[in-house]
C-alpha cells in the first residue's frame, strides 16, 4: 500500500488542482500560454454546453456555437467528450448550460477533448478575439500563418527591386510603387529605401513541407535591416509570388501622408486552387478590368466569362483580347462559358469545332461545355443523352488538346445539383445517377464537372459529405458553381452556409455573380460579398461570416472612402 501511495504522489506532484468559476473541477498539468493554445487550435468559439450525457466516468456533450471565431458557424453543434475522474480522483467536469471559450484541437473517438485548458471562462472572450482578429483584418484573405510585430517601417525614398525573376512581377511591383507614390529603382538609393527581393520556384521545398501546398503558396517577410526596410517574397510558383505582392499591397499604412510598411512574417497558401466568379461580357472593358483588378488583389484567379452573343468581331473582339491580356498579367484563368441546354448538341461537328476555335484564337485556353437547365425523364433517355454529351466533350478535348496540351475543360451536366442519397435537379435520383455514371465512365479524368451543391440549383447549405457523394458518382471531385452569391450580393450579405471542410472535396469554386441577376451598383454590395468569397475560398477553416463581413466592410471603406 505504501509503495502504491508513493507512486501516486509521483504522478500527481507536477499537477495543479483548479476550481473554475463555472463550478468545474480539473486536475491537470500546468497549461501552455493562452496565445499558444489559440494559435494551435483547429476551432475557436464562444459556446454553451448542451445535451450533456454521462456514461460512467465519461461524459459526452455538444457545444452550441454562439459566437464563432475560427472554423465554426453560429448555430453549429460541436461534439465533445471528457473524463470526469480516475478512480476517486476528479479530473474535469462542466455543467449543462455552461458558457465558455472553446479552444479545441485534439480528438478522442471523433469528438473533441474538453478540459479546463480547452474551455476557458467566457471572461477571456475579448482577449481571445484580440489574438485572432488582427491578422484577419490586416491582410485579407486571412493568411494561413502570420505574425505581426506591430512595428511600422519607413518605406523610404524608393522601392529598390534588387532581384526579381519575372518581368511581369516587376511590372506589378512598379504598379504598387506608383500607387504608394514612391519611385522604383533597380539598385538601392543613397538614402534609406525599401529593398524588395522576389523569387519563385517550380516547387519550393520549404513550402512543400507545409502540407505539400507549394503551388500558389508564398512566404513574405517585412523586416528592418541595418539601414533599409527589407521585403522578401518567395513563391512556390510565379502565381504564389504574385499573391505575396497582393499581401504586401495591404500592409502599407499611411501616417501624415507618408507611407510605412507593417512588419510581418507570413507563410500562406490557398485551400482551393481555382477560385473566382462568373461574370460577362466584355462589352464594358473598363468596368470589367476594374472588377478583375479587385478580384486579383484578393487572390481570386478564375473568371468564367458568360458566352458572348453573336459574332466576335471588331470592337468586341478587341475588348476580349484586352481583357485576356489583363487576366494573363494577373494570373487569372479566363474561361469561356460555351453552350446552354441543347445548343451544342444541335450543332454540326464542324460548326461546333469552329465555334470553339474562334475563342481559342482570341487566346482562351479554358472552356466550359454546358448542357444545363433541361430535363431527363427515363433511364433510356439518360443513357442516350449522356452518350451524346460525352461524345461532344471528348471530341472537343481531343481537338483542343491537340492544339495545346494545357487546355482546360469543365463540363456542366444536366443533373448538376443535388446528391445521390437525397435528390437531384432536373431528374430523379435513379435517372440522374444513370446519366452521371455514363459521364463518369466516358469523360477524361482531367475534365472537371460542375456541381451547385447539396440542395439543387440553389443550396443554402453545402456540405463536404454532399460533395463527396456527388464526386463518387462522377469519379472526380466536383467543381462548385455556387448560385447563392447572387442572393448574398443583392442583400449585402457575406458568404455563408458552406462547411469549413468543403474544400477537401472540391476541385474548384466559382461564384455566380452574373450582371443579369446580380445588382452591380455604386453601393459596392457585390464587391462586399465577393471579398467574403475570396476569404472563404482561400482559407475556409478560419472563415467566419460575421468576421468576414467586418473585414470586408473595413477593406471597402479604404478602397472607396465616402466623400
Phi and psi at residue 9, in whole multiples of 5°?
Answer: -65, -40
Cell triple for 360: 481559342
Q: Please tell me the distance from the alpha carbon of residue 87 to that of residue 11, in angstroms, as a whole number.
A: 14
Q: What is the pLDDT of residue 285?
A: 58
Which among 148, 170, 167 is positioned nearest to 250, based on CA atoms?
Answer: 148
User: What is the 8-class DSSP label of residue 347?
Assistant: S
Q: Domains in the chain, start-ordered, CATH in brackets?
A: 2-122 (2.40.50), 135-268 (3.30.379.10), 275-559 (3.20.20.80)
Phi and psi at residue 276, in whole multiples of 5°?
Answer: 180, -150
Q: What is the pLDDT of residue 408?
A: 96
Q: Please tell me the distance from the alpha carbon of residue 131 to that of residue 478, in angstroms, as a whole number.
A: 35
Contact 443, 391 (CB under 8 A): no
Q: Please tell me the distance from the alpha carbon of residue 18 to that of residue 112, in angstroms, as a whole number.
A: 21
Mark the ranges of the chain whose per-residue pLDDT is less than 50: 1-28, 136, 204, 211-212, 282, 309-312, 563
In DSSP notation, 227-262 reads SSEEEEEEESSHHHHHHHHHHHHHTEEEETTEEEEE
Q: Please tell me the distance from the alpha carbon of residue 349 to that of residue 345, in angstroms, as a whole number.
A: 9
User: What is the 8-class DSSP label of residue 541?
Assistant: G
Cell triple for 116: 479546463
CA distances in angstroms from 43 to 72, 118, 465, listed in the order given: 6, 10, 19
> Could you tell me how many residues make up the chain?
563
Q: Please tell me the distance from the alpha carbon of residue 496 to that of residue 388, in angstroms, as a whole number.
A: 37
Q: Please tell me the distance from the alpha carbon of residue 439 to that of residue 393, in angstroms, as a whole number.
A: 10
Phi and psi at residue 265, in whole multiples of 5°?
Answer: -135, 115
Q: What is the pLDDT of residue 297?
A: 96
Spell out the residues 6+ positions from residue 291 whose beta carbon is closer than 8 angstroms to its own: 279
Cα 112 vs. chain centroid, distance in angstroms? 24
- Helices 349-361, 379-403: axis angle to 10 degrees equals 40
Angle at 51 between CA 46 and CA 53, to 5 degrees: 125
Q: What is the pLDDT of residue 3?
A: 45
What stretch of H or E contains 284? none
Which among 112, 139, 108, 135 is positioned nearest to 39, based on CA atoms?
Answer: 135
Contact 274, 301 (CB under 8 A): yes
Q: Please tell me the distance from the alpha carbon of residue 381 to that of residue 442, in angstroms, as a whole number.
A: 17
Phi and psi at residue 161, in whole multiples of 5°?
Answer: -85, 90
Cα 90 vs. chain centroid, distance in angstroms? 43
- Helices 464-474, 429-442: axis angle to 10 degrees equals 60
Residue found by looking up cell 528592418 in the block: 224
Q: What is the pLDDT of residue 401?
A: 96
Q: What is the pLDDT of residue 6?
A: 43
Helix (H, G, I), strand (E, B) or coil at 129: helix
Which among 108, 107, 132, 106 is positioned nearest to 46, based on CA atoms?
Answer: 132
User: What is the 8-class DSSP label of residue 503?
Assistant: G
Q: Please tell me the distance from the alpha carbon of residue 161 to that of residue 184, in angstroms, as a whole number.
A: 7
Q: Please tell me the distance from the alpha carbon of residue 198 to that of residue 220, in angstroms, as a whole number.
A: 9
Phi and psi at residue 192, in whole multiples of 5°?
Answer: -55, 140
Q: Which residues are registered as beta bridge partners of 232?
A: 197, 221
Cell triple for 63: 457545444
pLDDT in tens, 256-285: 888 999 999 999 999 999 999 998 754 555
Task: Report the predicted TM-score, pTM, of the whole model to 2 decimal places.
Answer: 0.76
Rg (the chain; Cα; Å): 27
For strands 508-512 and 275-279, give the pairing: parallel
Cell triple for 114: 474538453
Q: Please tell me the distance from the alpha carbon of residue 23 to that of residue 96, in angstroms, as a whole number.
A: 11
Q: Which residues are registered as beta bridge partners of 80?
A: 61, 112
Cell triple for 396: 472537343
Q: What is the pLDDT of residue 309?
A: 42
Give the number of C-alpha atoms closer than 13 A to the C-alpha of residue 263, restricted to the C-beta side.
12
Spell out the residues 6+ positions from residue 488 whose beta carbon is closer than 8 angstroms to its own: 494, 495, 496, 529, 532
What stretch of H or E contains 233? strand 229-235
Which among 4, 16, 41 is positioned nearest to 92, based on CA atoms?
Answer: 16
Q: Please tell me the distance from the alpha carbon of residue 467 to that of residue 469, in angstroms, as a whole number.
A: 5
Amino acid at each position: 500500500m505504501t509503495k502504491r501511495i508513493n507512486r501516486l504522489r509521483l504522478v500527481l506532484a507536477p499537477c495543479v488542482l483548479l476550481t473554475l468559476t463555472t463550478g468545474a473541477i480539473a486536475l491537470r498539468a500546468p497549461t501552455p500560454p493562452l496565445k499558444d493554445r489559440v494559435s494551435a487550435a483547429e476551432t475557436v468559439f464562444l459556446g454553451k454546453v448542451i445535451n450533456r450525457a454521462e456514461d460512467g466516468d465519461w461524459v459526452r456533450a455538444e457545444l452550441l456555437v454562439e459566437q464563432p471565431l475560427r472554423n465554426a458557424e453560429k448555430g453549429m453543434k460541436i461534439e465533445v467528450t471528457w473524463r470526469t475522474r480516475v478512480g476517486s480522483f476528479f479530473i474535469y467536469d462542466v455543467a449543462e448550460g455552461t458558457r465558455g471559450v472553446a479552444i479545441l484541437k485534439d480528438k478522442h473517438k471523433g469528438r473533441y477533448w474538453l478540459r479546463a485548458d480547452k474551455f476557458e471562462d467566457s471572461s477571456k472572450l475579448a482577449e481571445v478575439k484580440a489574438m485572432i482578429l488582427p491578422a484577419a483584418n490586416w491582410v485579407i484573405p486571412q493568411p494561413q500563418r502570420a505574425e505581426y510585430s506591430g512595428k511600422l517601417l519607413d518605406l523610404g525614398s524608393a522601392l529598390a527591386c534588387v532581384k526579381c525573376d519575372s518581368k511581369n512581377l516587376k511590372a506589378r511591383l512598379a504598379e504598387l510603387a506608383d500607387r504608394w507614390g514612391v519611385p522604383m529603382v533597380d539598385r538601392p538609393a543613397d538614402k534609406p529605401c525599401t529593398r524588395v527581393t522576389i523569387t519563385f520556384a517550380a516547387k519550393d521545398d520549404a513550402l512543400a513541407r507545409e502540407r505539400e501546398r507549394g503551388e500558389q503558396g508564398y512566404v513574405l517577410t517585412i523586416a528592418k535591416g541595418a539601414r533599409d526596410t527589407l521585403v522578401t517574397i518567395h513563391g512556390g510558383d510565379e502565381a504564389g509570388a504574385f499573391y505575396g505582392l497582393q499581401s504586401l499591397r495591404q500592409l502599407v499604412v499611411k501616417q501624415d501622408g507618408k507611407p510605412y510598411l507593417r512588419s510581418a512574417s507570413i507563410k500562406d497558401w490557398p485551400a482551393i486552387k481555382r477560385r473566382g466568379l462568373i461574370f460577362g461580357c466584355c462589352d464594358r472593358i473598363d468596368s470589367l478590368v476594374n472588377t478583375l483588378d479587385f478580384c486579383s488583389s484578393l487572390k481570386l484567379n478564375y473568371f468564367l466569362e458568360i458566352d458572348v452573343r453573336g459574332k466576335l468581331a471588331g470592337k468586341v473582339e478587341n475588348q476580349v483580347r484586352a481583357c485576356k491580356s489583363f487576366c494573363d498579367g494577373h494570373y487569372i484563368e479566363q474561361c469561356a462559358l460555351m453552350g446552354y441546354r441543347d445548343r451544342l448538341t444541335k450543332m454540326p461537328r464542324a460548326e461546333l469545332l469552329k465555334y470553339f476555335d474562334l475563342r481559342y484564337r482570341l487566346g482562351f485556353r479554358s472552356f466550359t461545355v454546358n448542357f444545363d437547365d433541361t430535363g431527363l425523364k427515363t433511364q433510356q433517355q439518360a443513357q442516350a443523352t449522356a452518350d451524346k454529351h460525352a461524345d461532344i466533350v471528348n471530341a472537343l478535348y481531343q481537338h483542343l488538346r491537340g492544339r495545346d496540351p494545357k487546355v482546360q475543360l469543365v463540363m456542366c451536366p444536366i443533373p448538376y445539383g443535388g446528391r445521390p442519397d437525397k435528390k437531384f435537379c432536373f431528374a430523379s435520383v435513379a435517372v440522374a445517377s444513370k446519366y452521371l455514371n455514363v459521364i463518369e465512365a466516358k469523360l477524361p479524368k482531367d475534365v472537371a464537372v460542375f456541381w451547385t451543391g447539396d440542395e439543387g440549383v440553389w443550396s443554402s447549405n453545402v456540405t463536404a459529405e454532399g460533395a463527396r457523394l456527388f464526386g463518387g458518382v462522377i469519379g472526380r471531385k466536383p467543381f462548385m458553381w455556387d448560385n447563392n452569391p447572387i442572393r448574398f450580393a443583392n442583400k449585402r450579405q457575406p458568404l455563408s452556409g458552406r462547411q469549413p471542410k468543403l474544400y477537401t472535396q472540391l476541385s474548384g469554386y466559382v461564384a455566380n455573380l452574373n450582371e443579369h441577376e446580380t445588382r452591380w451598383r455604386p453601393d459596392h454590395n457585390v464587391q462586399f460579398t465577393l471579398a467574403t468569397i475570396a476569404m472563404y475560398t482561400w482559407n475556409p477553416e478560419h472563415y467566419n461570416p460575421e468576421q468576414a463581413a467586418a473585414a470586408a466592410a473595413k477593406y471597402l471603406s479604404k478602397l472607396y472612402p465616402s466623400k
